[in-house]
Structure 1
Amino acid sequence: MNDTILTIGTFDGVHQGHQKLLHKMFHTAKRENLTSVVITYSDHPAHTFKRNPDHRVLTPLQCKLEMIKEMGIEHIELLDFTEDFAKTKARVFLSEIIMKRFNPRIIVVGYDSHFGYQREGTYAFLRKQRKKHGYETMYVSPTMQGTKPVSSTSIRNMLSVGDLDTANKLLNRPYRMFGKVVHGQAIGRELGFPTANIELCDAHQLIPRLGIYLSKVLINNDSYFGLTNIGKGPTVRNDGKTIVETYVIDLDQDLYGCDISIDFLRRLRDEKLFGTKEELIDAMRADLSLARTIISNEILQ
């Protein structure tokens, strides 16, 4: 492949900062008649290094690839980030992968871009090598949130502490989880609120802070509003497991086995331990009433 404009990164979440870089790539490619290329990885590097076994991602791989394509990128090169691959020196990565496969005219670099062993492939490294290999470099400044750059790490932290509004703002969309509807204990049905129990398609995807959320649910290309509970169900269960379950508003049908995605629109409250099932049911009714009010007065206006 020749005459390309290329960038490299993990792109977890495809957040505002990533979107800024990809948008600039897209328009430069059109103006200069270049093919846009993104090099990314089939697994997050943190999972290969195993320094943090609990590391969570914002977007499953397939979702990330679709988002990048929606930004107008023409070619995505997916690399397996193995332990051996992680030892690849930046000079080798540049000559054997970037130049040999894509021969870019322009390499686009963000504020935290890097590749190669011990993150040697920085913007400064690429600038030093550009005359040798005959490419230009383009630097894209970070998108700022106050005094700090928008980052996947900061968004993960926001979701973990329940700051959904800010996380959604920095993603430029609602945070979305993907999974399949599986059989649960049918406790919700007993309480008058039958829920779809979700098994995530990517076990590494980040689960936001425990609580009740107003959500939008996509099933078989049809969308509905829902109440999503992330919690341990302390009033009715004692197994300590965190589950993700959604009561789909105004939908009464068998969803077992269906693929489902959940957009988190608003965090309504924390999960609570109630003294009785009746108190829990009253709280669920109040949640539903609040959800309908928000939908009518804010979302559908």
Structure 2
Amino acid sequence: MNIHNNINLFQTKGKTIVTIGTFDGVHLGHQKVLTKLKNAAIERKAESVLLTFFPHPRMVLQQDLDIKLLNTIEEKKELISSFGIDNLIIHPFDAKFSRLTAEDFVKMILVDQLNLCKIIIGYDHRFGRNRTATIEDLIAFGEKYNFEVEQITAKEIDEISISSTKIRTALLEGDIKTANTFLGYKYNLTGAVIEGKKIGRTINFPTANIKVSENYKLIPKNGVYVVSANIDNDEYFGMMNIGTNPTISEGNQSIEVHLFDFNKSIYDKEIKISFLERIRDERKFDSLEDLKIQLEKDKTLSIEKIEQYK
């Protein structure tokens, strides 16, 4: 897959088939659209192009700095690449771009730059300055500039919308099973291993503290999770706590993973954590010894559950 960080960097001598959207999560609903895009491109002997934007338009237009997304840009690249799409364009979204009129967007971007012969888009898609243009306008532009418009049905759009909402809600409620079902893969996060307080090792539960650098990445509800970890392309299993460590000294939210049968130094390494299941809320214990007793129970339960994921 070719990745272009600006629409102006994309060049082609052939025709393209295009879809546009945020595709946050690249969940089962999105995957249907990507499959539709790929198949249409093969049928028309054209290049497939997914046009998306970053920062998220809401971050720019509404200054919604608290928006949480299911994927970082790097995660999105990896997911979309697995569907055999030819080109991913991640165009910088800013106020200037948002002021393009609908026809300027169609003529300058879709027609002149992308050289499309077909666009696959939701029936409720709105575009152009202040998002005033509708699918009917796009169809009219298609007739004027000689490209086809294929509408994604109301049912499919509803599935995509409902899925995105349910995934975010499920993760914030700690319902990993529901989130993973709608995603079609295990929700994950990637971060660097940083120095922690090293209290876990004093009770025989050493942990790796994970620092997620992208502050817009959605972190699931505080609690204890069964997880798998990818380190240097090897898979390990363990349990992870997201929370404020109330037993020790409550502070900022931290993400700490204890890996089973693991004894390597991984400071500064980047690791990918996949969520398998949530097993309990974070709790405050009367002592470190009480915490250790609970962690032993958590480990036993986690090992039992891991068997079904191997």
Which category of TM-score, normalised to the shorter sequence, fits these structures? Answer: over 0.9
SS of the equivalent of 1:254 reads: coil
Alpha-carbon distance in 2 for matches of 1:144, 1:10: 16
Alpha-carbon distance in 1 for matches of 2:71, 2:261: 28
Q: 1:149 to 1:285 in 2, by over 3 A?
A: same
Alpha-carbon distance in 1 for matches of 2:48, 2:159: 31
In structure 2, the residue matched to 1:277 is 288
In structure 1, the residue matched to 2:221 is 209
Q: Is the 8 A contact 2:238 2:259 kept in 1?
A: yes
Alpha-carbon distance in 2 for matches of 1:96, 1:145: 27
Alpha-carbon distance in 2 for matches of 1:144, 1:274: 47
Give 1:123 deviation, angstroms. Answer: 2.4
| Residue deviations 1:102-124 (CA, integer Å, cap 9, x gap) | 12111001355443322234423
Q: 1:256 to 1:50 in 2, by over 3 A?
A: farther
Instruction: Structure 1: state its 5+ residue gaps.
Output: none
Q: Pick from 66, 72, 75: which aligns with 1:63? A: 75
Q: 1:243 to 1:94 in 2, by over 3 A?
A: same
| Residue deviations 1:267-301 (CA, integer Å, cap 9, x gap) | 111111112211111111111000111122x223x
Alpha-carbon distance in 1 for matches of 2:156, 2:147: 28
Give 1:143 deviation, angstroms. Answer: 6.4
Q: Pick from 259, 267, 271: which aligns with 1:248? A: 259
Alpha-carbon distance in 2 for matches of 1:133, 1:104: 10
In structure 1, the residue matched to 2:309 is 299
Alpha-carbon distance in 1 for matches of 2:154, 2:235: 34
Give 1:135 deviation, angstroms. Answer: 0.7
**TM-score, structure 1 as length reference:** 0.93
SS of the equivalent of 1:84 reads: helix
Q: Is the 8 A contact 1:115 1:121 kept in 2?
A: yes
Q: Which moved more, 1:34-43 or 1:103-112?
A: 103-112
SS of the equivalent of 2:192 reads: strand
Alpha-carbon distance in 2 for matches of 1:150, 1:106: 26
Q: Pick from 155, 158, 166: which aligns with 2:178? A: 166
Letter aligned with residue 91 of structure 2: L
Q: 1:145 to 1:225 in 2, by over 3 A?
A: farther
Q: Is the 8 A contact 2:29 2:159 kept in 1?
A: no
The answer on 1:44 being equivalent to 2:69 is no
In structure 2, the residue matched to 1:92 is 104
Q: Equivalences for 1:111-122 in 2 at 5 Å?
A: 111=123, 113-122=125-134
The answer on 1:130 being equivalent to 2:149 is no
Give 1:150 deviation, angstroms. Answer: 3.1
Q: Pick from 54, 72, 79: which aligns with 2:91? A: 79
When the two chains are superposed, the root-mean-square deviation of aligned CA atoms in Å is 1.9
SS of the equivalent of 1:290 reads: helix
Give 1:226 deviation, angstroms. Answer: 1.5
Name the % identity: 35
Alpha-carbon distance in 1 for matches of 2:273, 2:162: 23
Instruction: Structure 2: state its 5+ residue gaps.
Output: 1-11
Q: Is the 8 A contact 2:122 2:157 kept in 1?
A: no
SS of the equivalent of 1:47 reads: helix
